[in-house]
Chains A and B, each alone.
Chain A
Amino acid sequence: MKNSSARRVSCPECAASVPLEHGGLVVRCRYCGLKSAIVGYPSSSRYYIPSVMDEKIVKSACMKKMLNAGLLTPKTADRAIVDQAELFFVPYSWITAIKTGRLKKSRDDTETTVTKVFSEDYEAFRPACDIPYWGLKNVRLDEALNSMENYGLMPYERLEMSRRGHVLSVQRELDVPRGTGRVFITSATRKLIFYPIWLFRYRIDNSIYRGTLDGVTQKLLYGRAPQDSENKYLKAAALIGLVGLMLGQGLRLLFLAPAIGVVLLLTAVVIGVLVALTGLSLIRFHNELVYEDGTGVRESGSIDQEFLEERIFRSLAGVFSDDEAARLKDSDGGKADGNGG
């Protein structure tokens, strides 16, 4: 949802202009002191969760997390230099509601239907901005809330948050789903939670890689690392040797015991093709390892860093210069929202 509504309303007492702060649907007039409730405002009330880590902790912890995730070997970790760790408050749209109603279900043993009354939580928690390769979908609010000693939702304080990190702008909010028939989705509340995510960048042999850490649970959400090519070359050499051996033996056996020789030759050809494909992918893609919370480590071709940077910074508020903002805005048909929504 685009936040295009008026940012001010008139005080019902003195008619003074009352600014609508994002965090507050209950406001106080600065002139007459009247407390008012704002109705009809199409945006959710906003909160943020502070990070439990600071830059120093993130810089020292991120390589350990990468090691634990299996992205780096101790050897490559030794060569890694962490350049930067930045805190971002990423907006998440959070809806809680009650799903209640009556459902007709078929009984397993007979063809009759029974009516069941149910009442359960409806909950949705999704990123309210679009940033690829950060693992934003892997943030679990439940885990975060359970890991905190005190309940951590703080009222949205733009200034305070900006002192600690970058506040990303809201691109879309979830809508409350509608019920159907006898099923009601009721008592819905919508909130925007600005969640702390640490982005760290590190260098290995002049190549830059990145990863993100959950600022509350301290989990690695996403990470990229170079594949250990030494091992890969060794494995490839061993396989080529094996294929060569099988081919040689196959050719020799072809004259002595033709049946075994043919099988051996065919096996050697199949393995040879696999080795060739692996080698091709190694040369073509300059492979990287990617870790994503929930799916684990997988191999991947390297991503277009320039494309990545632009996608990330287009979503930021106040991070890029006016010139850059104008350039991005022009290139994107004015869709970029650089002022924090």
Chain B
Amino acid sequence: MAMAGDDNARAVRTRAVALRCPQCGRELSGINGDVLFGCQECAMAYEVPETGRLRAFPLRAAMLDDAAAHNMVWLPFWSYTASFSIEWPPAPGRRDSQVVLPRIDRVYVTAFNFRMRQYFGDPGLNLTRNQPDIATGTGHGLTGAAVREKSAEIIAENQILSTVDSRRDITGADYEIALSDASILCLPFLYEKRKLIDLVVDIAYTANAFVDLERILENSGGHK
């Protein structure tokens, strides 16, 4: 699997890639530093790769009743359908063998620049562990998506293993993980008193952990 660091090491010709929707021709939304740009009309997100052509992913947004409130920031996550199987070698007398493993149907990976995970936890991992039922729709722009799909896949696999490991030690276990239906999902965060509250799972994070927050706010038309 490739690492993000490889992108820096590879010698790539400097060039400009037109940020225009291949389907409708409209200008794609996104800010400086983003690697994904969105078309609100076609509900598609496009990853600009270092080489080759744009990669397209469905762009969805959560449909929440209270998401129309003021001071709302929409932040992108990678979303995958996940299936995994895990088997432990027979170990008679092992106490955790009866533990019921968590159900993980969807994996969410934070797609915006986020720091201070060690203090607040990772927003994507918190969603994966909570497995919320999120009704999704279309018609939302994309801003602040700075994590490539390849990176997201690596993180997603480790999120599944980490979630299982939090219930039962994965040492020596054989596992298979399949991720499919990669898409970008925009979720609403309530912005108040220098905190952002994830309205889906009701977890608050300090605004300082969101590296590009000011520019995301500016480019999404301020507080909606």
Contact = CB atoms under 8 A, between A and B. Distances in A.
A188 B6 CA distance: 10
Nearest to A191: B33
Given A13-B18, A119-B125, A119-B155, A176 B50 contact: no
Given A102-B158, A151-B214, A187-B147, A119 B117 contact: yes
B5 A178 contact: yes
A5 B11 CA distance: 11
Interface in A273-315: none
A155 B31 CA distance: 11
A185 B3 CA distance: 7
Given A100-B154, A116-B165, A153-B214, A37 B148 contact: no
Given A6-B14, A176-B8, A25 B33 contact: yes
A9 B162 contact: no
A26 B19 contact: yes
Interface in A55-81: none
B101 to A, nearest CB: 14
Given A24-B32, A35-B27, A189-B113, A96 B158 contact: no
Interface residues of A, number: 61
Interface stretch (B58-66, B129-137, B178-186, B205-213): B205-213
B211 to A, nearest CB: 7
B3 A186 contact: yes
A189 B12 contact: no
Contacts of A151: 207-208, 210, 213-214
A36 B18 contact: yes
A189 B146 contact: yes
A149 to B, nearest CB: 8
Interface stretch (B67-75, B79-87, B92-100, B166-174): B166-174
B177 interface: no
B141 interface: no
Given A23-B32, A35-B27, A121 B154 contact: no
Contact of A40 (B1, B4, B13, B115): B13
Given A26-B34, A39-B12, A45-B33, A119 B159 contact: yes
Contact of A37 (B8, B16, B211): B16
B44 interface: no
Contacts of B12: 39-40
B197 to A, nearest CB: 17
Interface in A1-50: 5-6, 9-13, 18, 20, 23-27, 34-42, 45
Contacts of B161: 102, 117
Contacts of A188: 4-5, 8
Given A12-B18, A119-B158, A185-B4, A40 B30 contact: no
A26 B208 contact: no
Interface string A165-195: 0000000000111110000111111110000
B116 interface: yes
A10 B4 contact: no
A69 to B, nearest CB: 27
B158 A117 contact: yes
Nearest to B119: A121
Interface in B25-70: 27-28, 30-34, 37, 48-51
B141 to A, nearest CB: 14
A339 interface: no
A38 B15 contact: yes
28 contacts: A9-B15, A12-B18, A23-B32, A26-B34, A36-B16, A37-B16, A39-B50, A40-B12, A45-B33, A96-B115, A97-B5, A98-B117, A115-B171, A115-B172, A120-B118, A146-B208, A150-B214, A151-B207, A151-B214, A153-B215, A175-B5, A177-B5, A179-B3, A185-B3, A186-B3, A186-B151, A187-B4, A189-B211
